Chains A and B, each alone.
Chain A
Amino acid sequence: MGWSPGLLAMNLAINELRLTVYGLFVALALLLLGPATPAAQDLKPGETIGPHNWERVKGMVGENLLERIKKGYGFKISEPTTYRPLREYVEATKKYAGRVRLGSDGELLNYVAGLPFPRIDPEDPQAGLQVAWNFYWRWRGDDYKAGGGTEIGRVIRYAIEKDGSERRADFVSYFLFPRTRVTLDPKPVIPGYEHIDSLQLRVDSYPRDSAGTALLEIRYADPKRPDDLYLYIPSLRRIRRATTTLRCQTLAPGEYNLDDINFFNGKILDFNYKLLGEKRVLTIYAQKNVPYQRKKGDYLPLQESWEVRDVYVLEITPKDPAYCTSRRILWIDKVTWEPARGMTWDRKGEYWKEMALFHFPAKLADGQVVWQEGTGYFVNVQNGRSTVLTTSRLYNQGYPPSLFTLDMMQKITRGGDVE
C-alpha cells in the first residue's frame, strides 16, 4: 500500500520481470506514463470529491457517475494499492509469451498459459486485439468460485428499479480453466481438455423458486465455435439445451446480457478492437466492505475510498451490424488486466449502460496476495434500472472436471451446495 503508480511499476519490474527485456519495457512504459488529464495529477490522497469539484475527475469516471457527482455523490481519494501479478503467472508469461502469434483472422496461435502479449506497443495496428486477448486470458486462477469470498459464500445480486425498490437473488458460479493452468496440477492442461478454454457451472441459490437452477457453459478453444449452454430446470428436473448466439438478450432481472458478464464476455473474433490509449482513472481497488455499503435503492458505494489507476482504453465494435451495441469502451487495469469500468452505446449510438467493478486484496493459500473482485454494478441509463453484484472469488480450489458435467447438474438440490 501507499505506492505511486511509478513506484509500483518499478517494483513490478524489479520483482517479477527482473531478467526479462520486455519486463524492462513494461516498467519503463509505466514509469513514463503521463497523467491522462491535469486533474488526475492533482488528485491527492485524502481529498474529497463532490459536486463542488466534479471537474477534477472529469474523464476519470464514467459519464453517468460524473452526473451523480454533480448531483451530490461524493467520495474520498486514497493512496493507490499495490498489486503484484501472481508469481506462477509471471513465470508462465516468461516461458510461453515469446511464441504467441496472431493468426490471419486474429486468432491466438501457440498460446499455452500466462499473459499472451506482455508488451503492448500502442503504435501497433493490432494493439487493440492484443489487449483484448490479454483481457481474455488475464489471471483468474486455475479455477475459482465466484461468491466464495462473501460471508455467505454466494454471489449477492440486487436488481434495483428506477424507483429504488430492489430484489435480491443469490447464486454461485464455479469456473475451471483446464488448458492454461499455472498453479494446480496437472499443468498446463488437464488431459482431454485441450479443446476447452473454460467451463462454468452456475447455480442459483436464492430465492427458493429459482434455487437449484443450474447453468453449464462450455467455451471452446476454437474461437469460432459457439459456446455450449445447458440449463437444469428444477421445476422440470430436466436439462434443457440453449443456444448462445443470442448474446444480447437481457439476463433479467439483471441489467446485463451474456456479453456484459465481466464487462466483456464476447467471442473475441466477433468484434473489432482499437486501443484508444492509456489513461488514469478512478476506481476502488481496496474495497473495505464486501458488499459495500450503499443507500437502499441506490447502486453507488458509500464509505469507500477511490484511487487512481492506470488503464488501457479499449474500444470494441461489433462485426455484426445487427448486434445490440454499436460501441463498447473498456477501461482495463494495466497491472491486473481486470476491467475497471465499461460503457456501452446502443445501436443508435445512444449511451446505454455503465458498469464498474471494484476490487480488494486477498491472500492465496501460499501466502501470495492477489487482487480480488469485490462488488460491481451495471446501470442502464436509458431505463434507470441497475444491478449490483458482489462476486468475491475463491481461487484455486482444485475443482475436478467432473464437477462441470450434465450428470452433476441433475444432482443439485434446491438451496444445496454442489461442492
Chain B
Amino acid sequence: MRFPTRPTACFLVIFFVSAAPARAASLFGQEWEKFFKERVTFGGFVENTAGLSVAAGDSRFTTSNRFIMERLTFQPEFNFDFDERLKLFISWRFVKEPRYNKEARDRRRNVPPLPPLENTFYDEDSPKPWELVWDIKPTDELSLRFGRQFISWGETDGLRLLDVINPQDGTFTPPAAANLFSLDETRVPQWGLRASYRLFPASQTALEFIALPGFDERKKRVDEAAPTAGRWAPHPEKRIALGRLFTTPLPGTFAVVPSIERVFPDAGDNWKLGGRITHTVGKLNFGLGYIWGYNPQAGDLTFKFLGASAVGATTVARLRLFNDRTSIFAAHFNYALEELITAVKGEVAFYPSKPYNISKYPGPAGFKAGPHPRHPDGITEKNTLRYSLGFDRAAFIPFLHPDDPWRAFSFSLQLFQSIIFDHEDGIRAFSTAEKIKTVSTSITFRVSTGYLGDTILPDVFLGYDPEGYWLANPALSYVPPWNERIRLSLIAALYGGRNKFKSFGSFAEKDSLFLKMRYQF
C-alpha cells in the first residue's frame, strides 16, 4: 500500500512532532518551537463516503453495483505565516477506495460479448501536494500567488460557466450533485501564477492576470468525464450512448464500442492565460475578462471520428478529442436589490468559433447518421453565447421555524442558457447524439436553512431542463451540539427525464443515496 508514501509520511511526522511544543523543543530547539507555535497552523479533515444505488434500474442493472461508493479521504493542511508579505499554504489529499471485483464479474456475465468495463477507482496517493501556494505581497497593492492552486471566476453555484480555469474530474461522482461533492472537491488544482493589482481599493478596482503553463500530468490539465466508460458511466452495462453519432458503419455488427483517444497538448503547448478587471459602481460589482486555453466541460467535448474496425460482432470506433483549447470573452456581475432582499448575479461567456460535432441525420443505407455534406470531417464551428442569471434571496418562514422564526431560509434561483449563432441541423452532443438546439436552457434552485441552532442543516439543490429532465440533490446534515468537528450528512442524488441520454437524464438509472461522515481537525 502506498498510502501515505514514505516522503510524505516523513514530512507529516516532522510536522506533527514539531507541532507538539515539548517534543519540538528537544528536536529543533527553541527557535523552531517558537516558529511552529506562532507561525504554523494545522488543519484538515478525514471523511468517509458510502453510497448505495437505490433505483431498480433495468434488467441489466444488478444488485452487485448497488454499493457504488466507499471512499476514504484524508486531507491535512498547513499554513506557514513567515512574514506579513510571505505565506505558504500546503495541503495533501489522500483518497482510497476498496476494489469491487464482484461488480466487474457481474458485468462480464451480464453484457457478453463485450469485454467487461474497466473498474476505475478514485485513488489519490501522490506525495505531490494537492495545493501548494506561495502568497507574496511585494506591495500593499500587488499580490502574487504561485504554486498549485485553484482559480475560480464567476458567480454561479452548483454548475459552472466561467469556472473553467481549473479542470474538473467528473469521473468518480454523479454529475451536478452540488450537495454531495462541492466544486472544490471535484476541481483539480493547477500549477501557475495568479497576480492581482488593486488599483483603487475604495471602488474594488483590481486587475488580475493568470498564467498556468500546464506543468501538471497530462490527464489533469483538462476536464475528465466518464460518459461511456468506467464505473461512474451512466450506462456502463449497455454502452449504447456513445457511438450513436456514428452508428456502426460495419455490416453484421450490432454494437459500437468507442475507443477514445484524447490527445493532450504538449507541456509547452498547454498554457492557459487570462486577465480581468473588476470594479464597483454604486451597488453594481462587475468583472470583464478573457481566458485563452479553455478547458472544455464534459458536455462540450468534441471528437473526430478516425475510423472503425470490427472485433467479433462489435464495432470499435476510434475517436479523438478535438477541442482542448479555445478562448472565452468573459463578464460577470452582482447587484444588490436591497428593497427586494435579493442579490442578482450573472455571468456571460462568449466563445468565438466554438466547435461542435455535426452529422447528417438519418444517415445513408439505414444508418442512424452519416457524414454531413458541408462538414465532412464531422465538425463545425459556431459563435456561442452562454450566460447565467441568478437571484439569491433570504426569507423568513416562521411556521417552518417554530424554534427560531428569525432563522432565515436561503433561496437561490439560477437560469443558464446557451445560444448557438448560425445554428445548423445536425449539431448534436457527441456522447449521446442528442440534438443541441439553438437555445439550451437549464434552471437550478437551491434552498437551505438550519434548525436547532444549526445542528440540523437541510439543503436541497434541484436542476431542471425544460426539455423534460430534472435532478434532485437533497442533503440533510447533522452537526452534534457537543462537537463542532463532526458532521454527518445524508445525501441523495436523483435524476429523471423522458430520455436518459440527455442532460441530467443520463443518470436516471443511477439514483443513489450517500452517507458522509466527516471529522475536522
- Which residues of A are at the interface with B, using a C-beta cutoff of 8 A? 159, 161, 163, 165-169, 192-193, 196, 206-209, 211, 226, 228-230, 234-246, 248-250, 252-253, 257, 324, 383, 385, 400-402, 404-408, 411, 413-417, 419
Contact = CB atoms under 8 A, between A and B. Distances in A.
Contact of B143 (A166, A250, A406, A407): A407
Contact of B454 (A163, A253, A408): A253
Contacts of B79: 413-417
Given A161-B453, A237-B183, A402-B141, 4 more contacts: A165-B480, A208-B520, A241-B392, A253-B453
A236 B182 contact: yes
Interface of B: 41-45, 77, 79, 81, 84, 87, 89, 133, 135, 140-141, 143, 145, 150-155, 157, 163, 182-185, 187, 196, 198, 200-202, 204, 206, 208, 278, 283, 285, 334-339, 341-343, 345, 392-396, 403-404, 406-408, 450, 453-455, 479-485, 487, 518, 520-521
A249 B404 CA distance: 10
A238 B343 CA distance: 15
Most buried by B among A163, A168, A211, A416: A416
Given A240-B155, A407-B143, A208 B521 contact: yes
Contacts of B163: 238
Nearest to A401: B201
Given A249-B396, A250-B404, A240 B343 contact: yes
Given A208-B45, A235-B184, A226 B453 contact: no
A167 B482 contact: yes
A306 to B, nearest CB: 29
Given A208-B45, A241-B335, A250-B406, A411 B140 contact: no
Contacts of A385: 453
For the complex of A and B, list the 6 residue pairs with the smallest distance between their C-beta atoms, beginning with the closest. Answer: A241-B334, A208-B520, A252-B454, A167-B484, A237-B152, A165-B482
B392 A242 contact: yes
Given A228-B283, A235-B183, A416 B143 contact: no
Contact of A209 (B204, B482, B518): B518
A416 B89 contact: yes
Contacts of B450: 252-253
B48 to A, nearest CB: 15
A44 B309 CA distance: 100
A411 B491 CA distance: 30
B407 A414 contact: no
Contact of B406 (A239, A248, A417): A248
A235 B182 contact: yes
Contacts of B453: 159, 161, 252-253, 385
B320 to A, nearest CB: 32
B87 A407 contact: no
Most buried by B among A193, A240, A405: A405
A211 B404 contact: no
Nearest to B208: A407
Given A165-B481, A236-B152, A413 B343 contact: no
B135 A400 contact: no
A167 B343 contact: no
Contacts of B145: 411
Contacts of B182: 235-236
B155 A238 contact: yes
Most buried by A among B150, B155, B204, B484: B484
Contact of B81 (A234, A243, A416): A416
Contacts of A159: 453-454, 481
A229 B394 CA distance: 13
B484 A169 contact: yes
15 contacts: A165-B480, A166-B481, A207-B484, A211-B43, A236-B183, A237-B183, A240-B345, A243-B342, A243-B343, A246-B396, A250-B408, A383-B404, A406-B278, A413-B87, A419-B84
Contact of A402 (B201, B278, B345): B201
Contact of B202 (A192, A252, A416): A192
A237 to B, nearest CB: 4
A407 B482 CA distance: 36
B341 A241 contact: no
A400 B143 CA distance: 14
Given A236-B157, A246-B394, A405 B198 contact: yes
B204 A236 contact: no
A209 B520 contact: yes
Contacts of A417: 41, 79, 81, 87
A246 B194 CA distance: 35
Nearest to B408: A249
A246 B43 contact: no
B255 to A, nearest CB: 41
A196 B201 CA distance: 12
Contacts of A168: 484
Most buried by B among A207, A209, A211, A400: A207
Nearest to A380: B404
A229 B336 CA distance: 9
B43 A243 contact: no
A143 B454 CA distance: 32
A407 B285 contact: no
Nearest to B185: A235
B143 A244 contact: no
Contacts of B84: 419
Contacts of B43: 206, 208, 211, 414-415
Contact of A245 (B155, B206, B341): B341
B228 to A, nearest CB: 29
Given A249-B394, A250-B407, A401 B202 contact: yes
Nearest to A230: B285
A182 B393 CA distance: 39
B394 A238 contact: no
B276 to A, nearest CB: 11
